[in-house]
């Protein structure tokens, strides 16, 4: 309990660098790198647990292409009694696999969904039926949409179609940091920021009405100039969110890999990690990743507003 008060509460695990899709904005895939096996992931999770990590988002590459995905979820949920969250492109998802994930103790399930009109690779609306099925098994379900030049006009429609089925709607603005996660090319970025601002307004209203909009109030009200200029910098002294590479190395964020294996240090105060993280953050020109921004920026008033919405609904 004490470590969970001091350490980072969440970690993102790149359990594989392999993927069966090729998204134009994503560089996370490195198929030649060997992934740790499930026993090695169990040791990593145990170490992260001792540092205070309670919520584990399982990502990649495509996590569902691993046959032992159920063992990893079971270790988090049943063996350690922690919270597993799986993010998938859903291209190979079936009801049977959802049954197995549910038996393994999956808590949150997120499907990437960039369009409902066949634009790009993640545009199959039938994933909403599968998410509804997962909901019936008491798994909390959401979609996540990367907002970019080609889908901006249909985003409000996607938001309504997702939430009217009782599924949580989440977004990420297309990033172009040019590290190991995103492309360096900003071509896909929405040029007309008034469209983004207008949509954020709609999201705020819908969040109050339904409670099914995932981004925090702080994020929905933040200054979009940070996205325009990609100028947000995470604080290097604080580990609000950890990322682990498929070979067990610590990553200050999903764009950069350190040389330090999680099992090589006892805790996050180790000067080797602190120094390497500070150097990487120093070198980075900036980004505006919502996941990091929201974990670093938690405002008490926003939490109160969420509580109010929960009670009201
Ligand atoms: C890398 S994927 C891994 C999980 C799974 N393969 C999937 O597609 O959901 C995790 C999330 O990152 C998003 N993503 C990838 N590249 C991005 C970028 N350049 N900017 C914003 N989000 C990005 C994906 O769309 C997906 O929602």
Taking residues 233-254, what's their average pLDDT? Answer: 94
Taking residues 273-297, what's their average pLDDT? Answer: 95
User: Is there an atom of ligand 1 within 6 Å of 28 CB?
Assistant: yes
The two tokens of residue 135 are 């909901």
Chain segment 64-119, per-residue pLDDT in tens: 999 999 999 999 999 999 999 999 999 999 999 999 999 999 999 999 999 998 77
User: Is there an atom of ligand 1 within 6 Å of 74 CB?
Assistant: no
Q: Classify domain 2-312 by CATH number.
A: 3.20.20.70
The answer for residues whose C-beta is within 8 angstroms of residue 206's C-beta and 6 or more apart is 159, 160, 163, 212, 213
Residue-level pLDDT at 37:
98
The answer for residues whose C-beta is within 8 angstroms of residue 81's C-beta and 6 or more apart is none
Residue 175 has pLDDT above 70, yes or no: yes
- Separation of alpha carbons 161 and 105, rounded Å: 27
Residue-level pLDDT at 299:
87
CA of 94 relative to ligand 1 center, distance in Å = 20
Chain segment 193-218, per-residue pLDDT in tens: 999 999 999 999 999 999 999 999 99
Q: How does strand 10-14 pair with strand 55-59?
A: parallel
CA of 250 relative to ligand 1 center, distance in Å = 19
The two tokens of residue 158 are 């996607």
CA of 258 relative to ligand 1 center, distance in Å = 21
CB of 35 within 8 A of CB of 66? yes
- Separation of alpha carbons 117 and 95, rounded Å: 23
The answer for residues whose C-beta is within 8 angstroms of residue 223's C-beta and 6 or more apart is none
Candidate from 23, 187, 246, 251 with most ligand 1 atoms within 8 A of CB, to mutate: 23
* CA distances (Å), origin 133, targets 76, 99, 114: 22, 9, 20
Residue 312 has pLDDT above 90, yes or no: no
Instruction: Enumerate long-range contacts of 36-42, CB under 8 Å, 24 or more apart.
Output: 36/246, 36/247, 36/248, 37/68, 38/68, 38/71, 38/72, 38/75, 40/248, 41/13, 41/15, 41/72, 41/75, 42/72, 42/75, 42/79
Residue-level pLDDT at 4:
61
pLDDT class for 142, splitting at 50, 70, 90? very high
Residue-level pLDDT at 279:
96
pLDDT class for 1, splitting at 50, 70, 90? low
Residue-level pLDDT at 5:
66
The answer for residues whose C-beta is within 8 angstroms of residue 289's C-beta and 6 or more apart is 172, 175, 232, 253, 254
| Average pLDDT score, the chain | 95
Only one residue has tokens 């150097």, namely: 279
pLDDT class for 32, splitting at 50, 70, 90? confident
Only one residue has tokens 């799986």, namely: 86
Domain segments of the chain as ranges = 2-312
Global pTM exceeds 0.85 = yes
- SS3 category, 5: helix
Residue-level pLDDT at 298:
86
Residue 172 has pLDDT above 90, yes or no: yes
């Amino acid at each position: 309990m004490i470590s969970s008060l001091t350490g980072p509460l969440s970690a993102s695990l790149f359990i594989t660098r392999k993927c069966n899709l090729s998204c134009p904005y994503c560089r996370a895939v490195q198929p030649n790198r060997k992934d740790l096996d499930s026993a090695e992931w169990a040791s990593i999770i145990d170490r992260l647990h001792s540092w205070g990590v309670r919520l584990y988002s399982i990502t990649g590459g495509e996590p569902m292409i691993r046959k032992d995905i159920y063992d990893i979820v079971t270790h988090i949920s049943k063996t350690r009694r922690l919270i597993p969250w799986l993010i998938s492109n859903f291209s190979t998802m079936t009801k049977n696999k959802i049954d197995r994930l549910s038996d393994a103790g999956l808590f949150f399930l997120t499907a990437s969904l960039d369009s409902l009109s066949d634009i790009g690779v993640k545009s199959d609306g039938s994933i909403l039926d599968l998410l509804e099925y997962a909901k019936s098994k008491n798994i909390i379900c959401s979609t996540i949409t990367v907002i970019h030049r080609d889908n901006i006009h249909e985003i409000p429609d996607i938001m309504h179609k997702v939430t009217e089925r009782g599924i949580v709607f989440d977004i990420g603005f297309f990033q172009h940091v040019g590290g190991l996660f995103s492309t360096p090319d900003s071509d896909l970025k929405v040029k007309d920021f008034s469209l983004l601002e207008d949509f954020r307004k709609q999201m705020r209203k819908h969040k109050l009405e339904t409670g099914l909009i995932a981004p925090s109030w702080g994020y929905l009200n933040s200054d979009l100039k940070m996205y325009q200029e990609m100028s947000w910098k995470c604080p290097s002294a604080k580990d609000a969110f950890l990322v682990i590479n498929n070979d067990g190395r610590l990553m200050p964020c999903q764009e950069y890999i350190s040389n330090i294996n999680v099992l090589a240090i006892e805790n996050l105060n180790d000067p080797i990690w602190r120094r390497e993280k500070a150097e990487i953050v120093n070198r980075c020109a900036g980004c505006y990743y919502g996941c990091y921004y929201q974990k670093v920026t938690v405002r008490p008033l926003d939490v109160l507003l969420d509580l109010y919405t929960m009670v009201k609904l």
